[in-house]
Amino acid sequence: MDSFLDIQRQRADSDSKFIDCNGFRVHYKLYGCGKPPFIVLLHGSFLSIRSWRDVAKPLAENATVLAFDRPAFGLTSRPVPSRTNEARYSPEAQSDLVVALMDKLGMDRAVIVGNSTGGTLALLTALRHPKRVQGLVLVGAMIYSGYANSEVPAFMKPFMKAMSPVFSRLMKKIITKLYDKNIRGFWHVKSRLSDETLAAFRSDLMVGEWSRGFWELFLETHRLHFDKRVSSVSMPSLVVTGEHDLTVKTEESFRLAKELPKAELLVIPDCAHLPQEEKPREFVEGVQAFVGRIA
């Protein structure tokens, strides 16, 4: 069986880059001139850096854009946490990874753009590292509900950790069976998601011992109590929702835009959970206008 390093080399694109950071070998792409404003793109669960393919370069016309595969997804490595490595999958560790990558790539402050659970991490990064976040773009962000804010009961966690090999294999079977249906549910017009693109997303996820990495992420998921914390966010925010988002209902994005102190709301018509996929031009125009106002 190929090592993960071999897999990274085989599947990398011509613009793929890799960097060791906080216990992970992170797959990333960098666009633009290397000068501010800086934009960091955080994709949602079960997806990858590929989700930004139609918007990263246009956004980089007037900015420097970093997109990377989050831990447990894409071509970023999936080490099992241990006492001998730094790899951690908790939301807090992932938010710290965002800032550590910024440090390594010379970005002092950035606009953090997060879709779905990437939006969860974007908001958490703003709360944990406010001086490093110039602004937030929260796209169908999973803030008030969904698995990103659930948690394994404390009394169950030791048992589930001990049985990780068994549970990760079970999770692999479930995700493999439901993957296509789940991903198609992110689109409003299903025909916009080609079979080729769906197969590519599936391939991005199912790399090496991928189910163990996702299991580790799942185990570390816990309630973040954003309902009590959003009022303390100090930087400007743009809340984006697809008009037909059923994954994170539009009502939740409306609520988020009301509760964030310095938020604007952008509703993109004729799309669902992934505006950057279904309506890339409208998405880029909205984000560029926001960045232009705060940069």
pLDDT tens-digit readout, 165-207: 999 999 999 999 999 999 999 999 999 999 999 999 999 999 9
Q: What is the pLDDT of residue 2?
A: 62
Mean pLDDT, range 86-110, rounded to an integer: 97
Query: In this structure, what DSSP letter does residue 136 have?
Result: E
Q: What is the pLDDT of residue 295?
A: 85
**CATH class of the domain at 4-288:** alpha beta
Q: What is the pLDDT of residue 146?
A: 81
Neighbour tally for 12: CB within 10 Å:
13
Phi, psi of 90 (to 5 degrees): -65, 155
Does residue 13 register a pLDDT over 70? yes
Separation between Cα atoms, residue 218 and residue 216, nearest integer Å: 5
Q: End-to-end CA distance of the chain: give it in Å, rounded.
A: 48
152 confidence band (pLDDT: 50, 70, 90)? confident
Does residue 148 register a pLDDT over 90? no
Q: What is the pLDDT of residue 150?
A: 80
Nearest to 157 by CA among 90, 111, 204, 243: 90
Of 147-151, 226-230, 243-247, give the lowest mean pLDDT range.
147-151
Q: How far is CA 118 from CA 143, 160, 162, 197, 224, in A?
A: 10, 25, 28, 20, 14
Separation between Cα atoms, residue 183 and residue 174, nearest integer Å: 14
CA atoms within 13 A on the CB side of 172: 16
Q: How far is CA 253 from CA 29, 145, 224, in A?
A: 28, 11, 17
147 confidence band (pLDDT: 50, 70, 90)? confident
Does residue 1 register a pLDDT over 80? no
